[in-house]
Amino acid sequence: RRLMARAALFLGPGQPFQHVSIPTPEPRGREILVRVTCCTLCGSDLHTHAGRRQEPTPSILGHEIGGRIEAFGPDAARWDASGTPAELGTRITWSVAVGCGSCFFCLHELPQKCQRPHKYGHSCATGPYALSGGLADYLLLVPGTSWFVIPDQLTDSVAVPANCATATVASILRQAGTISGQTVLVVGAGTLGATACAMVQSLGAQWVLASDPILSNRERARAFGATHALAPGPETVEAVALLTQGRGVDLVLELAGKWDSVQSSLKLVRTGGTVILAGTVSPTPMVPIDPEQLVRRMLTIRGVHNYHPLDLRTALDFLAGPGQSLPFASLVSARYALSDVEVAFQHAHSSGGTRIAVVPEFTPE
């Protein structure tokens, strides 16, 4: 008897989710059927839900996902992308984007920018891979997906956001250059920013400054390793000047995704420093840039979007290692059943920088 998967279909901004039942497919070839145990709502899910970014519809949203292996296709590997053995019931998570492996970008180590990608939580819920988002009981992993066994010591609340937030920070820091001994400014202290503070601290930064307008976010940043938690504007400017003798910080990680914070990031970095922009995943006003200043100050500006699958391995290793001493579980502030997805999104839009989880088998008290 075929399993039936409950799913919450997203039909478009302003429209209620449609609750449907979809027959689960028998995995073929290298496919793997996964029973979803947890899906956390990412900022990009909220942008799509609110209409700030466009995705195909109908779709099953949710790409920060964890689950247990329900069935292997006949040719599917019984080990993850790093060689760890797996069996039925093993908890796993996987890379958001699956590259084709043969286009220009895949061949140049940018599989997340594949010309023919499959993206979990971002695909139309039709055809053989209709079950492709986390807001459902089951999901089918397509061939070529990089999946990883979740370490036993990590709860779903800690491991599932690694699928996007922690792996994205790992990607940012892989491309940031030397961190040890540096002064780093993290702009935006939501889930991504708190994670960045923790990982930057673990890499030996001398000073970790977090700038955010929300007091609770600043307090959280301190709990995750920030040496200074600051309000944007004069407070941040003065702290940067004091700590760097007026030079500016070595590295800015702009994670807030707002035009004014991008502009201030360019002012607060030192000559020869680096600004990494990773928060702008929906349209914002243009930011004026003086090319002469870029040249004279010898600045490096880099955009980072998504991550290489190996960054997810780094993220899980960090959470199971140095991250264990930090309150990562607190980054998920509430859990809802799949039947309460409308309420979950309402809560997520006002959650103040924490994740909201949708747990298919969760039963509210």
C-alpha distances in angstroms, 312 versus 68, 144, 171, 228, 307? Answer: 17, 15, 9, 28, 8
Summarised one tens digit per residue, pLDDT across range 55-87 is 899 999 999 999 999 999 999 999 999 999 999
Note the pLDDT of residue 353. 74
| pLDDT grade for 363, boundaries at 50, 70 and 90 | low
Note the pLDDT of residue 216. 92
Note the pLDDT of residue 365. 45
171, 226, 215, 162: which is closest to 193 by C-alpha? 226
Which value, in Å, is the radius of gyration of the alpha carbons in the chain?
20
Summarised one tens digit per residue, pLDDT across range 168-218 is 999 999 999 899 999 999 999 998 999 999 999 999 999 999 999 999 999
Summarised one tens digit per residue, pLDDT across range 142-170 is 999 999 999 999 999 999 999 988 999 99
Count other C-beta atoms under 10 Å from residue 216's C-beta.
Answer: 12
Q: Are 197 and 208 in contact (CB under 8 A)?
A: yes
Instruction: Please give the mean pLDDT across all residues of the chain.
Output: 94
The verdict on pTM exceeding 0.85 is yes
Note the pLDDT of residue 273. 97
